[in-house]
Amino acid sequence: MIFFRIFAPSMRKYLFYTTCFFALSLLFSSCNEEQSRIPFCQVSINIDLRSHDSDFRSPMQVKTFGNLTHVAGCGGVVVVNLNGEDFLAFDMSCPDCVWVGGTVIPSQLLAQPLPEAFQCSQCNNRFNPLDGRPMQGSDTRYTLRQYQVTIQETDLGGNVLRLSVHN
């Protein structure tokens, strides 16, 4: 309180409200309850669409990569080909079951290559394959950890030839 006494009354009021504003801003900005609880794990996957991953060239396809053959996050990585030019990648660990080995797997919907959801093998939480958010009816409020996908090479026609998934 001695600190505030050296300022004029109008300045004290300004300092008080400014301090409260910054304290509340800091409090609410750090409480984003939709962030993933999946720990940071190294990811480094190169996808060559010209050869062994050529089946992944079609839009609305999903491909999974495990830790046995790649540096693939905590529980493996699932990559979604949205339209042949845009790709998403998520860690396959469930945010609620990551410590007990729960992994999310694509649950196929008939007549659609893109699954309707990624579902945890332990707790059955379901996640949207387009943004990693929990779907209605799931008991979690946390999203899947999303990784960056970089297009490394295209051909003259603009077709994607190589991708890199990384964090």
Q: How far apart are CA 41 and CA 165, in angstroms?
A: 13
Going by C-alpha positions, the residue among 63, 77, 46 that lies closest to residue 151 is: 46
pTM above 0.75, yes or no: no
Q: What are phi and psi of 61, to 5 degrees?
A: -110, 155
Q: What is the CA radius of gyration of the chain?
A: 22
Q: How far apart are CA 140 and CA 120, in angstroms?
A: 11
**H/E segment holding residue 9:** helix 9-29
Query: What pLDDT does 75 receive?
Result: 82
Whether 62 and 90 have beta carbons less than 8 Å apart is answered as: no
Going by C-alpha positions, the residue among 124, 68, 58 that lies closest to residue 96 is: 124
Structure tokens at 7: 């300022």
Q: How far apart are CA 119 and CA 124, in angstroms?
A: 6
Query: What pLDDT does 70 receive?
Result: 66
Burial of 32 (0-12, 13-18, 19+ CB in 10 A): exposed
Q: How far apart are CA 66 and CA 74, in angstroms?
A: 9
Per-residue pLDDT of the chain (167 residues; tens, 9 = 90+): 555 556 556 666 665 666 655 555 544 444 444 556 777 788 888 888 887 777 788 888 888 887 666 677 778 888 888 888 889 999 888 888 877 777 777 765 433 467 788 888 888 899 999 999 999 888 888 999 988 988 888 887 767 777 788 87
Query: What pLDDT does 22 receive?
Result: 55
Q: Domains of the chain, with CATH numbers?
A: 1-31 (no CATH), 43-166 (2.102.10.10)
Q: What are phi and psi of 109, to 5 degrees?
A: -105, 130
